[in-house]
Structure 1
Amino acid sequence: MSIQRLAPVDFTTLENPGIQSVQIVWSKNAPEALVTITRVTMEPGSISARHSHPNSEQIWIVERGHATLLMDEDQTDDMQAGDVVRTPAGSIHCVNNTGHEPFVYLAVTTPPQDFTRAYRGRRSSN
């Protein structure tokens, strides 16, 4: 296995209304990687569907904005730039951008996961 260098031309953007998910490291550009790394941008008022990842945990590094994390059993928690959130495998979660600016976070998912099915649109950077 050799070192791999990726550039924005190698990334793919998955889209739903109000949400862009840039696949920085994923199975399509790094098939041997042990993680998926994604930058998610949510426009104000957008909300992701409540879901879980049965076999993968995620760590989110919040880069910008404010949002509400919605969890199982109607639990909620506020998130803001600088926060780090870990969702264990199987944890139900979704995000609601309750702020007035885009909410941006970097998601690290391990083991890796292909998120294509969760999004309606797809475009390559190249």
Structure 2
Amino acid sequence: MRVRPDDVATMTFDWGSTKWFVTPRLIPGASQSLGEVIVNPGRGHARHNHPTAEEVIYVISGEGLQMVDDGEPFPIKEGDAVHVPMAAFHSTLNTTWRPLRLIVTYVPGGEEAALEQTPDFRLIEAASVQEWERAQ
């Protein structure tokens, strides 16, 4: 099954946005999740964990700092891959003025549903473009 970016909704947050292309909710029988994450310049997501899934982060473009398992943050850049073990606390921070673009997978899939419970979560329907507003 082919999924294009315009086929799926966009999750937005204070720190950036995510499009999930493969999830158990979207594709019957899928056992993993795969999406593209954009972390806005100078932003990042808070320390959190996924109690029932491991995560792999692949950096498409940009640079940032990654923390895994409450260890010392380390630099990440285009081409890097990071494995986050199940239940390990982690966070990602974009340290540049350019967007940090990531491919993220969860195994088993479904952990992305927890993002819908965060206070800054907003959903932009499929094939819509989010309008950005600069903070004063």
TM bin, normalised by shorter chain, reads 0.7 to 0.9
Structure 1 match to 2:109: 112
> Unpaired segments of 5 or more residues in structure 2?
128-136
Structure 2 match to 1:90: 87
How far is the alpha carbon of 1:125 from its aligned partner? 1.4
Structure 2 match to 1:56: 53
How far is the alpha carbon of 1:91 from its aligned partner? 0.8
Q: What amino acid is the match of 1:122?
A: L
Structure 1 match to 2:14: 17
Q: What amino acid is the match of 1:107?
A: V
> Unpaired segments of 5 or more residues in structure 1?
none
2:6 counterpart SS class: helix
How far is the alpha carbon of 1:70 from its aligned partner? 2.2
Question: 1:24-63 to 2 correspondence within 5 Å?
Answer: 24-63=21-60
Q: What amino acid is the match of 2:123?
A: R
Alpha-carbon RMSD across the aligned residues, in angstroms, is: 1.6
- Show CA shifts across 1:63-117 (max 9, x none): 0000001234452111000101110101100101111210000001110024244
